[in-house]
Amino acid sequence: MDRELLLENILRIDAENTAENVLLTDAKIIAFLLDHCEITVPQEASFFVRVNCERLKDEVDKARRKRLLDEATTEQLRLTNRRRAYRGNRDFGHTAPDWDAVTALGIPGLKRRATEQCGDLNPDFAEAETLVWDAAERFCLRCADAAEKCGKPRMAQSLRAQTEHAPENLFEVMQLTLVYYALQQFFEATLVRTLGRLDRMFLPFYRAGEDEDLFEAYIRELDSIKPDANMPFTLGGSSVDGTPQVNAVSYRLLETYAALQPADVKMHILCTPDMPRDFLRLAMRSVRDGGNSIIFLNDAVIIEGLCRLGETVADATDYGVVGCYEPCGKDEVPCSCNAIVSIPKALELALHHGCDGLTGDRIGPETAGEFADFEALYREFERQLAALTDGAVRQTGAFEAIYPKLHAAPFFSSTMATCVLRGGDVYCDASAKYNNSSLNAIGIATAADSLAAIRKLVWEDGTLTLPELIRILDDNWEGQELLRATVRNRFPKFGNNDPAVDALAQRILAKLSDMVNGRPNERGGVYRLGIFSIDWRVPWGEGAAASADGRKAGETLSQNATASFGADREGATAHILSITSLDAASAVNGAIMDLDLHISACRGEDGLEALLATLTTFMQRGGEGVHYNVLNTETLEAAQKYPERYQNLQVRLCGWNERFLALSLDAQNEFIRRSKHQAG
């Protein structure tokens, strides 16, 4: 059945099933798609097929949102999103299914556990699980027939085996990860944002010397799927009993990744003090040579941060990493991209009586805007930041209140032990052990630099009165180029190990942590704070007025936990010292450093050791996560001039890899400027 007809039918199923709880309705939709989608078998595929209904169920969810959200909530969402002050949202897109359960139980075991051993929280749970898993088995048999017809007997035989027993060899377990990924990602439309700890999962099935060709085939197939924002998997980490987690499969996966340098696969390496040096050298060599889709995460800091949220040590230690870099504990639904708050916007509101600096729209609480000293201004900034945070939580809560009528996830729920024990859906019934939400506060360096500049210009040096500075910002620095250049290039900035500016960033983070971490949500869980911005920094910068750090209206905000572009004038070590002065465990949802280095600093064995030294310093000082861009100005400029020669050139874009030539010209030029900045 073609895609348009599939959509017509699933919308009909939704209209005909209007029960308050959508679990059974969604199960019927998923089963229909599994039974009627078109199946193709790419010639290059070794493990699995392709289907024509990828995330088609999103269209059903969109129709439900339009029906369920009241007009007042919708209008408030539009206003605050246009002004880029705060936003709250649903998040069915950042999940870590229990991959250990998937690979240990297989399709028959997951089905049996979910239908025969479940509790009774939701009366529809067992019936829904039966519907989707029966359909999944029929789908696997249809896929096997298609593979057989296309001359792929190994794929076909293994697909039939998936319906009979748990995986028994490396080929079967690799195939199962792709089958389950398709079930949840494409049919259920609950986005899978990690393949889990593949080295740990694959090790029991690995036969050294016999399975070596499978690793390349597997990585190539992951890359060919081309999922949103790359396909992440995890290596390393620790265990509660102290068993080392780096094993022979860890090396094989890393070696294969380094050799292939796939554009649409990314890797999380969970760093521990005892991680083998040669393993880290191999990873860093890959980064230096262009395979920069590797994120290095601090295992101890993440475990501490999750424990602070109330998770047990065992659950925190057995965490996954979803999406770009967001950790989530065992049996946790982190919803790591729910709410966003612009930290620089709070300062903008403090300077403009609670109104947007570009439009005059009232967004925050009204204030007189007269401040006797810097502390008075800072207190008002915190008050506005608290109001934005409250607004984002309120909007997120409006979405979470309609989850039972909006989206069900029977496949995802069946992997979660607590959901099965309770007999409830992850979203309809909030039945996971940890049903958390997130708030990401973006632009921390922009805000800290701006506060430092205001303090210096107005209260320390007396160069301007505060009203005079506000007028300059309202005029977008017009006619003040000398002052702007002085502020941008001579004033203290976060990222240079300056204690005074770093203290402002620390103070902002501590306040945000108090406002966000552990705050109850609408689903029986709590909020988790992150300070990553990914590519939000661009549109949210477009909605921000000129700021006192020398940034003009509409320019991008600072990225993630990193210094503002061009502000890190004292080199990589000073930049690392500033970022690791922050309490990263209080922003466990993501406190990521983007470290740009010029290729000239990384050549040869000495350069490799220098790279490893930056990583060691970052981890020892308590940073949460870091990823690298090793930039070569000449190569980037040549790619613009001769694009046909550089089709596979990659750069690290916020939290994922992107082909350099796929970026806009402005984004390409930003990377060139960053490269020149690092070259000095």
Q: What angle do CA 658, 659, 660 make, to 5 degrees?
A: 105
Give the pLDDT confidence score for residue 357 in this predicted structure.
95
* pLDDT on residue 576: 96
Overall average pLDDT of the 259-265 stretch: 88
pLDDT tens across 455-493, in order? 999 999 999 999 999 999 999 999 999 999 999 999 999
Q: Under a CB-based contact definition with an 8 Å cutoff, are residues 302 and 586 in contact? A: no
Give the pLDDT confidence score for residue 19 in this predicted structure.
Answer: 66
Q: What is the pLDDT of residues 568-596, one digit of tens each?
A: 889 899 999 999 999 999 999 999 999 88
Pair 589, 297: CB distance under 8 Å? no
How far is CA 485 from its chain centroid? 35
Kindly report the average pLDDT of the chain as a whole number: 92
Q: What is the DSSP string of 223-252?
A: HHH--TT-EEEEEE---TT------HHHHH
Alpha helices (runs of H) in 478-542, residue ranges in sequence order = 481-490, 499-516, 537-542
pTM: 0.93
CA separation, residue 499 to residues 456, 502, 505, 666 (Å): 14, 5, 10, 33
Q: What's the CA gap between 674 and 676, in Å, rounded?
A: 5
Residue 349 above 70 pLDDT? yes
Q: How confident is the model at residue 264 (pLDDT cuts 50, 70, 90)?
A: confident
- HEC per residue, 96-149: CCCHHHHHHHHHHHHHHHHHHCCCCCCCCHHHHHHHHHHHHHHHHHHHHHHHHH
Residues 6+ away with beta carbon under 8 Å from 242: none
Q: What is the rounded CA–CA span in Å between residue 660 and residue 649?
A: 6
At 118, the pLDDT band (50, 70, 90 cuts) reads very high
Q: What is the mean pLDDT of residues 601-622?
A: 91
pLDDT for residue 600 is more than 80: no
Quick check: 250 pLDDT over 80?
A: yes
Q: 13 pairs with which residues across the strands?
A: none
Residues contacting residue 478 through CB under 8 Å, at least 6 positions apart: none
Question: Is a pLDDT exceeding 60 seen at residue 679?
Answer: no
Tell me the average pLDDT across 364-380. Answer: 91
Q: What is the pLDDT of residues 306-319, one digit of tens each?
A: 999 999 999 999 99
**How is the beta sheet containing 265-271 ordered, strand by strand?**
231-236, 265-271, 294-298, 625-631, 592-598
Over residues 64-76, the pLDDT tens digits come to 988 888 776 777 7
Distance from C-alpha of 174 to C-alpha of 253, rounded to nearest angstrom = 12
Residue 333 has pLDDT above 70, yes or no: yes
**Residue 65 neighbours by CB distance under 10 Å:** 16
More confident residue, 229 or 656: 229
- Cross-strand pairs, 87: 340
**Other beta carbons less than 10 A from residue 400's beta carbon:** 24
Residue 513's pLDDT is 98
Confidence band of 680 (pLDDT split at 50, 70, 90): low
pLDDT at 399: 93
CB 556 within 8 A of CB 541: yes
- Mean pLDDT, residues 526-542 taken together: 94
| pLDDT value of position 639 | 75
- pLDDT, position 649: 64
- State how far the Cα of 419 lies from the Cα of 21, in Å rounded to an integer: 16
pLDDT band, residue 648 (cuts 50/70/90): low
The total number of residues shown for the chain amounts to: 680
Q: How confident is the model at residue 677 (pLDDT cuts 50, 70, 90)?
A: low
- State the pLDDT at residue 650: 62
Rg (CA), the chain: 25
Tokens of 159: 């697909």
Instruction: State the pLDDT at residue 309.
Output: 98
Question: What tens digit of pLDDT does each residue of 126-180 get?
Answer: 999 999 999 999 999 999 999 999 999 999 999 999 999 999 999 999 999 999 9
pLDDT score for 678: 60
Least confident of 124-128, 387-391, 585-589, 598-602: 598-602
pLDDT, position 82: 74
pLDDT above 70 as % of the chain: 94
283-297 per-position pLDDT tens digit: 999 998 877 789 999
Arithmetic mean of pLDDT, 232-246: 90
Compute how many other C-beta atoms are within 10 angstroms of the C-beta atom of residue 295. 23
Burial tier of 616 (Cβ tally within 10 Å: 0-12, 13-18, 19+)? middle
Core vs surface per residue 659-673: b (16+ CB within 10 A) or e: bbeeeeeeebebbbe
Annotated domain spans of the chain: 231-329+591-680
Q: Which pLDDT value is given to residue 656?
A: 57
Contact 197, 140 (CB under 8 A): no
What is the tens place of the pLDDT at every residue in 33-58? 999 999 999 999 999 999 999 989 99
Residue 91: phi and psi, rounded to 5, are: -150, 100
User: Which region, left, alpha or beta, applies to residue 227 given φ > 0 means left and ψ of -120 to 50 means alpha?
Assistant: beta
CA-based nearest residue to 625, from 586, 580, 656: 580
- Give the three-state DSSP class for 430: coil
